[in-house]
Amino acid sequence: MNVRNIYITTLMFISIVANAQQLGVKWGDSYKNKKNSYITKIVGEDNDSYYAFRYSGGYVFSYIPHIWLDKYSGFSLQQEFSRPMDIPTRAGEEVSIEDMLQIKGNFILLTSFFNRDASKKSVFAYSVDTAGKVYTKNSREVDFIPSETRRDNRREHVALSADSSALFFYHTEYDTKTDNERLVCRLVDGADFKELFFKSIDIPYKKEQVNIINGISDVEGNFYVLLKINSLEKGLFFKEKYSSSYLLLSIAADGKVREYDLSLGTKSISEILLKRSGDGNILVAGFYSNLAKSEDDVAGSFYIRIDGKSGDISSKGVKDFDKDFLSLSMSQNKVDKGRELYKYKLNDFILRDDQGAILIAEQTYEDVICFYDMRTGLQTCNTHYYYNDIIIININPDGTVAWVRKVPKQQETINDDGLFSSYLMYKRDQTIYLLFNDDIRNFTQQAMPFGTFDAEPFNMTAPHKAQVALVTIDSAGNVVKKPFFSSKDNKIIIRPSLSYKTNNDVTVIYGEYGNRFRLGKLIYNAEPDSLKTE
């Protein structure tokens, strides 16, 4: 049996292990959305409740945004209140709502506004209690970016420290004296918003050559920031050549700076993420292309582990995808010609207990299609959002690849920002569960065998008619796909991006249908009737 047949056999291993499904969902009551408002995220929890952040961009004849804090019972998921929150103002200037976070039981509202007098974009933090009251007296400016005008596109980045007790703010700004970029890092206490650490690092690259990918920090003031460096050179006949590289900066609490060159030789990195393990090691993983300076194609994966104490690279692995795996997505002729996978976004970076990693990526892109009406002379443009196949790469601690799997999926929606597309990931023990809205025809007898190249799935274009698919991947790479529940029959369409993992390993999910919504909980080892809605 060749490798291709092994892949297909593994993916079709449905009837034998179907009874092992131990995941269900319990839904709360259905509620009507407030006019022009919607839940943007589930922000946190306490002992017996979940909290959601609701936002409205403003009503007719008013540009002023409105925000609410929603509270739901942790047991029944019934809504206990939906309470408006006051939006603070600054010097009469219009403010922008940046985010709402929870740090050790406390809610923090982040806002920003353009300070004309000081020529800067200021970011302020406010405490919010569990009743939705915003405390303005203890607010503090936690970050700022020098800006000449409101339209300057510099933006701040924020992350929680490793112990989730502090806020890590970081951004780049232009140094007028050196004509180069500067990286600014601040660590702010999550309780009183006082600055704990501040670091400013000069970067020897010109204005707007530097893009931040992501960053991490611990409470001791050690910062790690992943940067993308863009280069533009004149080529033959005045043509411009674009290239990019990636740089990891380690900035210790004592001020020592260490630079890591993440180049992969002739390979071109197309996706990359930075993460910190529980024992303090720094992990970098992503995808690359073998084509010259391609940022859309994917030929394989790489994995780098940096020892958190010594700062030395302790493991590194670079591996092309097998041709048999590539043949699951394209014809053998294209594989032989060196074609690569296209437009895969690295969404999830799961750390294994043994210092290995699991990467989950999805083919994601959008396209604007316009047509011209000769009768009216008007042009109409629609944005198509594509969320297609999922791939899972299991990487060993030494950087070698244990296995790679593909989950066939096709989703295409128009002018909806892809709100009902993509997938929801839930992990328990050594098993990964993926949920997504799928075309119901992919579960009928007429559908071709799941996992084969010839079995291109039907395209999910109507979320309100979708069947929610449940895909299970165990530690050995066995893949099982089953129908979970019908969106039409249960009047629920899941929004994968609005899921929230609680402290006790329960995942809260969000579903809506028309103008009504409800929260649900994924329940492990649930009985079949837990899928029913009440």
Which pair of tokens denotes residue 37? 């408002």
Neighbours of 291 (CB within 10 A): 17
* Dihedral pair phi/psi, residue 9, rounded to 5°: -60, -40
Q: What integer best gives the mean pLDDT of the chain?
A: 86
pLDDT digits (tens, 9 = 90+) for 274-293: 999 888 899 999 999 998 76
pLDDT for residue 118: 85
Residue 238 has pLDDT above 70, yes or no: no
Instruction: Return the SS3 of 463.
Output: helix
CA separation for the pair 8, 3 (Å, rounded): 9
Residues with Cβ within 8 Å of 454's Cβ and at least 6 positions away in sequence, in order, are 448
The answer to whether 103 and 160 have CB atoms below 8 angstroms apart is: yes
Which pair of tokens denotes residue 398? 């030494």
Instruction: Return the SS3 of 193.
Output: coil
Closest by CA to 286, choosing from 338, 395, 388, 359, is 359
Which pair of tokens denotes residue 247? 């740089």
Instruction: Label residue 65 exposed, middle or buried (CB < 10 Å: 0-12, 13-18, 19+).
Output: middle
Q: Which of 149-153, 207-211, 383-387, 469-473 shows the lowest mean pLDDT across its residues? A: 149-153
Instruction: Return the SS3 of 121.
Output: strand
Residues with Cβ within 8 Å of 443's Cβ and at least 6 positions away in sequence, in order, are 467, 469, 483
Q: Where are the domains of the chain?
A: 1-29+423-534, 39-75+78-155
Residue 9 has pLDDT above 60, yes or no: no
Residue 408 C-alpha from the chain's centroid: 20
Q: Which has more confidence, 17 or 389?
A: 389
The answer to whether 12 and 24 have CB atoms below 8 angstroms apart is: no
Per DSSP, what are the bridge partners of residue 386?
A: 365, 412
Which pair of tokens denotes residue 139? 């607010």
Q: What is the DSSP letter of 104?
A: T
Residue 81 has pLDDT above 60, yes or no: yes
Kindly report the length of the chain. 534
Transcribe 27-61 into DSSP letters: E---EEPPTTEEEEEEEEE-SSEEEEEEEE---TT
Which pair of tokens denotes residue 127? 């405490």
Locate the DSSP E strands across 13-165. Answer: 23-27, 31-32, 37-45, 49-56, 66-73, 79-85, 96-103, 106-115, 120-128, 134-146, 157-160
pLDDT bucket at 78, cuts 50 / 70 / 90:
very high
pLDDT for residue 115: 84
pLDDT for residue 362: 97
Q: Give CA angle at 276 (305, 291), nearest 5°.
A: 50
pLDDT for residue 58: 60
Which pair of tokens denotes residue 512? 């809506």
pLDDT for residue 529: 40
Q: Which of 107-111, 235-239, 442-446, 479-483 shows the lowest mean pLDDT across its residues? A: 235-239
CA separation for the pair 366, 382 (Å, rounded): 10
pLDDT for residue 150: 66
pLDDT for residue 343: 93
* Dihedral pair phi/psi, residue 5, rounded to 5°: -70, -30
Q: Give CA angle at 62 (59, 65), nearest 5°.
A: 70
pLDDT digits (tens, 9 = 90+) for 92-130: 666 889 999 999 888 999 999 888 888 889 999 999 999
Residues with Cβ within 8 Å of 530's Cβ and at least 6 positions away in sequence, in order, are 24, 25, 26, 523
Residue 454 has pLDDT above 70, yes or no: no
DSSP H or E stretch at residue 488 = helix 487-490
Kindly state the average pLDDT of the residues 30-37.
88
pLDDT for residue 278: 84
pLDDT bucket at 507, cuts 50 / 70 / 90:
very high
pLDDT for residue 236: 60
Transcribe 328-387 into DSSP letters: TTS-HHHHHTT--EE-EEEEEEEEPTTS-EEEEEEEEEEEEEEEEETTTTEEEEEEEEEE
* Dihedral pair phi/psi, residue 166, rounded to 5°: -140, 160
pLDDT digits (tens, 9 = 90+) for 352-406: 988 899 999 999 999 999 988 888 888 999 999 999 999 999 999 988 999 999 9
